[in-house]
Chains A and B, each alone.
Chain A
Amino acid sequence: MTAVWAQQSTHQSTQRAKERSQQRAKVRATARAVGGGEAVRPSVRTVFLSILLVVLAFYTEMAFELEWRTTAGRIGPGFFPRLVGGAGIALTALALVSGLRNNQPATTPTGPATGLAGAAEPDLGEHPRVLLLTVLGAGAYVLTLTVLGAVVSSALFLLGTLLWLDRRHRRRAVVISLLFPVLVYLLLQTLLNAGLPDGILPLP
């Protein structure tokens, strides 16, 4: 009964995510059709490239504070960063302009690492909330790593994320959360002496 309910719940959440995604796509399309939609809500690409442009401008400004040539007439520490910064600003500006001119959609579906389209990937919608909470969870995990120790912080992170993402299998989530960090600790610390933090547990 629980399994059926959970299956239905997963199915429903997939459907809701799809519907939300479709609604967002519709809103974007309507906004584009009436004109000025992208100006009202800039695409992820535009926002990301704009931030990158600011970062690169800051990088280049700092490069100009470094010497172009040393007093001995050799290439200074600012030579390469200025070239890189200049090229970075030019490329980012070009990408921004071409993106705005082509009025590209917010997402460019790409495969892993190369920009190739993934094969037969099902459309399950977009899940920014899941992503944001996972990133925040990972951030909290990193912050507590040295305080609580590798085993405890890893176990807490796994327990939290698995109970949330894999609600159908609570027992499995607990078992993985307890066993996996211990196994990794044994491998990295006990076997390879890798120097993981012990934290609050008096581990060997």
Chain B
Amino acid sequence: MNVFSDLGQGILAILTVQNLLLLGAGVLLGMVVGVMPGLGPSAGLAILLPLTFGLDPTGAIVMLAAVYYGAMYGGTITSVLINTPGESATVASTFDGYPLAQQGRAGPALVMAAVASFVAGTIGAVLISVAAPVTAAVATTFGPPELFLVVMAGLLTLIVIVQGNRLLGALSAVLGFAIATVGIDIGGGAQRYTFGSSELINGIDFIPVAIGLFGLGEVFHMLWKGGHLERLAYVSVRAKGRSFWPTRHDVRESRGPMLRGSVLGFAVGATPGAGATVASLMSYNLEKSVSRTPEKFGKGAMPGLVGPEAANNAASAGAMVPLLTLGIPGSASTAVLIGGFLMWGLQPGPLLMEQNPEFAWGLIASMYLGNAMLLVVNIFCIPAFASIARVPFRVLGPVVIVLCVLGTFTVNGSIIEVGIMLACGVLGFFMRRIGMSPAALVIALVLGPLAEETLRQTMIVSGGQLDIFWERTTSLVLLILIGCLLLLPVVAPRLSRLVRRRLRSVGEQRADSAEREPDEHKV
């Protein structure tokens, strides 16, 4: 198995003292950011990205992968202890996580969530090792028309799948494309929308936009809705005593949800545009549907926490497949990562695995090691991180604003960029208020130059004719896929009803057989 030897080599390549320290620091910093209410992996990555500028690309990516997973798990801690998801991917973890904590089982809930994240991360790393080379091999056959359509399909998935107003989601993506056109036109060298400013000639960097929209925008939104007045209904967690550890029953009933969540999460995450949030909610619904005791869901059922946790972690791994092989970020966090890649002079895409195998496999390996580190850090430091969740937002809010401002300034030492970040913070606040999607904007901003370039190349190849899109077989397949995506809002509700009915009947059958078994034993 060549892929596993590649993964093994990747793991060996990053096993240096410096990288392990960076891994540990990344997990710790990620968790600190993750437990701050409202700040998720995307904001955490954006704010902490400047910290990696002094590092070599491998060290930087090792640290960022660790921050990514750390922040993801940090969100789970707040979901379980204070019923406030750190970000949308951990919303499903509140459904059963908080009731478990209220029952005095915060320790087992957090430990099982950490184990589920580790298992899902491991399965995810194995699946990436298999899926990424295959996808990269297919992607090498793609020309400009196919790449343009993949970008469009990715954005469309994001807009169609994410709940909320699709029209406003599409508008968010268009805004991202519009911001991406600022600066010098790559094709002809003409200046666009620079208004004579030398600062804008290189375009608007995505980091100030990402920090503004995700970090500052969230702080403003929390202040507007009274986050500074909130008194947290905090459930404490102690590491002493047996009550901190999960029981055998917890482990037994979590095995299935963990495996199902991992596979489902990876598949959903690998679809460009569909992210960890969708995966975790799908997993919750799946577990509830197939459970023998669906009535316990929402009241503290361990499978209701473990399934979504595994799914959101596996989805984060799955999102790396389109990122590494197509250069398409599947989520807001991977959009920030792709921006980091570009800053280090690495172009994610079909050729990355061929030209920079040590980097690509190093990233996959660091994701795996990041999970292992997360498990160790979590088990020993849950109470310490839980105490960060007790810091009220009226203290955290101003602190986060300072981090956003100084973090943005360190990128290029430009006060204009800090101003752009502040403006994007206000924009992010209004986008949240009216239901637009900051994630779609950032992804479109990152993909904008790629979309424009591939469209330009396509038009050059075809002599300005659009029929090139349906003359090539792969393009035609992608066009059909886009057509299906457009039909999804109409078909999905019916399909979902049908699947739910089937799953419910499976659950009822299992419950019946479970009831029958003790009767048979009595006989």
Contacts of B425 in A (CB 8 A): 135, 138
Contact of A146 with B415 at beta-carbon distance under 8 Å, contacts A62-B193, A116-B277 already known: yes
Rounded to whole angstroms, the CA-CA distance of A166 and B231 in the bound complex is 12
The answer to whether B163 and A114 touch across the interface, beta carbons within 8 angstroms, is yes
CB neighbours (8 Å) of B94 from chain A are 119-120
Docked Cα-Cα span, A142 to B31, in Å, equals 28
Q: Is B131 an interface residue (CB 8 A)?
A: no
> Of B165, B190, B224, B410, which is within 8 A of A115 by CB?
B165
For the complex, is B285 an interface residue (Cβ under 8 Å from A)? no
Interface string of B415-457 (1 = CB under 8 A from A): 1001100100110011011111111000000000001100110
Contacts of B167 in A (CB 8 A): 91, 94-95, 98
CB-nearest residue of chain A to B83:
A120
Contacting pair A162 B395 (CB below 8 A):
yes
> How many angstroms from the CA of A180 to the CA of B402 in the assembled complex?
9
Nearest-neighbour CB distance to chain A for B279, whole angstroms, equals: 12
Inter-chain contact B188/A165, CB cutoff 8 Å: no
User: Given A92-B171, A196-B409, are A114 and B437 neighbors across the interface (CB < 8 Å)?
Assistant: yes
Q: From DSSP, what is the main secondary structure of chain B's interface residues?
A: helix
Contact check, B220 vs A135: say whether CB atoms are below 8 A apart: yes
**Looking at B42, B168, B425, B426, which has the most chain A CB atoms within 10 Å of its CB?**
B168
B24 located at the interface, meaning its Cβ lies under 8 Å from any Cβ of chain A in the complex: no
Determine whether B359 belongs to the interface, using a CB cutoff of 8 Å to chain A.
Answer: no
Contacts of A161 in B (CB 8 A): 397-398, 401
User: In the bound complex, do residue B433 and residue A108 qualify as a contact, i.e. CB atoms below 8 Å apart?
Assistant: yes
Contact of B203 with A by CB under 8 A: no
A122 contacts chain B at the CB level, 8 A cutoff: yes
A80→B455 contact, CB < 8 A: yes
| B259 nearest CB across to chain A (Å) | 26
Does A178 make an interface contact (CB < 8 A)? no
The majority secondary structure among interface residues of chain A is helix
Nearest CB in chain B: distance from A153 CB, A? 9
Q: B156: CB under 8 A from chain A? A: no
The reply to whether B85 and A142 contact each other, CB–CB distance below 8 Å, is no
The yes or no answer to A112 lying at the interface (CB within 8 A) is yes
Q: Known contacts A85-B178, A107-B433, A131-B223; is A114 also within 8 Å of B402 by CB?
A: no
Q: What residue of chain A has the Cβ atom nearest to residue B177's Cβ?
A: A84
CB of B455 within 8 A of CB of A112, answer no
Residues of B within 8 A of A13 (CB): 229
Does chain A have a CB within 8 A of B512? no
CB of B181 closer than 8 Å to a CB of A: yes
Known contacts A87-B174, A112-B87, A119-B94, A48 near B162 by CB under 8 Å: no
Q: Report the bound CA distance from A128 to B224 in whole Å.
A: 6
Q: Are B422 and A150 in contact (CB under 8 A)?
A: no
- Which of B47-55, B347-355, B373-381 lies at the interface? B47-55
A193 at the interface (CB under 8 A from B): yes
Q: Within the assembled complex, what's the spacing in Å between the Cα atoms of A162 and B413?
A: 27
Say which residue of A119, A130, A181 sits within 8 Å of B228 (CB atoms). Answer: A130
Q: Is the CB of B175 within 8 A of A88?
A: yes
A111 touches B85 (CB 8 A): yes
> When chains A and B are docked, how far (Å) is the Cα of A48 from the Cα of B51?
35
Say whether B435 contacts A108, CB under 8 Å.
yes
Q: B63 CB to closest chain A CB, in angstroms?
A: 12
Q: Out of A62, A73, A80, A192, which one reaches B452, CB within 8 Å?
A: A80
Out of B88, B169, B223, B226, name the residue touching A112 (CB < 8 Å): B88
CB distance from A200 to the nearest CB of B (A): 16
Given A119-B91, A162-B398, A184 and B403 contact (CB-CB distance below 8 Å): yes
7 closest A-B pairs by beta carbon, nearest first, are A115-B164, A124-B226, A194-B410, A77-B185, A108-B435, A161-B398, A77-B190
27 contacts between A and B (CB under 8 A): A45-B434, A67-B188, A85-B178, A91-B170, A91-B171, A108-B165, A110-B164, A111-B85, A112-B432, A113-B432, A114-B88, A118-B85, A127-B224, A127-B225, A131-B220, A131-B429, A142-B418, A145-B405, A145-B409, A150-B406, A150-B409, A165-B395, A166-B395, A187-B51, A194-B50, A195-B410, A196-B406
* A→B interface (CB under 8 Å): 10, 13-14, 17, 44-45, 48-49, 52, 56, 59, 62, 66-67, 70, 73-77, 79-81, 84-85, 87-88, 91-92, 94-95, 98, 107-108, 110-116, 118-122, 124-128, 130-131, 134-135, 138-139, 141-142, 145-146, 150, 154, 157-158, 161-162, 165-166, 172, 176, 180-181, 184, 187-188, 192-197
Q: A81-B178, A125-B226, A127-B226 are in contact. List 20 more A-B contacts (CB 8 A).
A: A52-B175, A70-B187, A76-B190, A87-B174, A91-B170, A92-B171, A110-B433, A112-B218, A114-B275, A118-B91, A119-B83, A119-B95, A126-B224, A135-B422, A138-B401, A142-B405, A158-B402, A165-B397, A184-B406, A192-B54
